[in-house]
Structure 1
Amino acid sequence: MSDKTALSSLPPGWTGTAPDTDALFAMAEAALDSLPAVFAPHIRDVVIAIEEFADDDVLKSLDIEHPYDLTGLYEGRPLTERSIDASGGMPDRVTLYRIPILVEWIETGEKLDRLVRHVLIHEIGHHFGFSDDDMHALEDMA
């Protein structure tokens, strides 16, 4: 295979360097902003974080063997499981894992901002207690 053939199989927009944490965070913020306005009051306190990989404890708790297999994680109590007198807990958190997202981006050729949006919306869906079908519908609306 020639060098030109290898380059032609890279995703569109590839510049030769991996987007950093700040770039992925900006994409996540743009994805949040694209959600229908009705969701905004319910997600304003959700913390969005970007990490390189999930740590070993997280992977073990989810029975995931390889860190490349986890692109995002919701931590918190879904809105459907809360009571009115529950307070004082840690804020809900969505973590996007940069390296696994970048690997999926390279392997699939999906536009990176769309992939980040997909992972983020899936994790935000857990915050609302949505099923996978509900999450697909939400993504289609955004």
Structure 2
Amino acid sequence: MAEPSQGDAKLWGPLAAPSLDDIEALAIEALEALPEPFRSMSRGVECRVAEFPTEEICKDMDLESPFDLMGLFEGIGMTDDGIIPQTGQMPNRVWLYRRPILDYWAEHTDTLGEIVTHVLVHEIGHHFGLSDDDMYAIDDGLR
């Protein structure tokens, strides 16, 4: 493998890994790009970004590593009486996990935006009660 040229070092030297805010901005772009009626139906779903899933989530999901989960839907899906919130019910929420997303990005050729969109669409799909095939079709339509 060739050593990086002086120009490469100048290009990469000042760059930092995308922040939580950067991932959130990509997620907002992805939400705004959802086709109707999914965009309108997703308005009540919160999108949050964290470094990793919590220890409790890792334990509940029997994960070997917190890097094993890039996103999570938390709440009651529309097919499970999630259309009308019940008193005391927390809002439906999608979590995106920055470090697992960045780890995946470093090992694949997809852009960071494509990965964030894919994870977001997959997790929102759980809100709608969609199958994996449905979610992949929506994701492919956004690329």
Detail structure 1 runs of 4+ shifted over 3 Å in the superposition: 13-16, 83-86
Aligned to 1:124: 124
SS at match of 1:32: helix
The yes-or-no answer on 1:78 pairing with 2:87 is no
Alpha carbons 2:76, 2:82 under 8 Å: kept: no
What is the correspondence of 1:30-45 to structure 2 with a 5 Å cutoff?
Answer: 30-45=29-44
Alignment RMSD, CA only? 2.2
Identical counterparts, % of pairs: 43
Aligned to 1:63: 62
Aligned to 1:27: 26
Quote the offset at 1:16 in angstroms. Answer: 3.4
C-alpha deviations, 1:37-91, integer Å up to 9, x for none? 2112311111100000011100111111101111000001110110676522110
Distance 1:14 1:128 in 2: 43
Alignment CA distance shift 1:14-1:117 (3 Å): farther
Q: Give the TM-score normalised by structure 2.
A: 0.86
Alignment CA distance shift 1:3-1:55 (3 Å): farther
Distance 2:43 2:136 in 1: 21
Alpha carbons 1:46, 1:91 under 8 Å: kept: yes
Distance 2:92 2:13 in 1: 33
Give 2:44's aligned amino acid.
D
Higher RCO (Cα < 8 Å, 6 or more apart): 1
Give 2:113's aligned amino acid.
D
Aligned to 1:18: 17
| Structure 1 runs not aligned, ≥5 long | none
Number of equivalences: 136
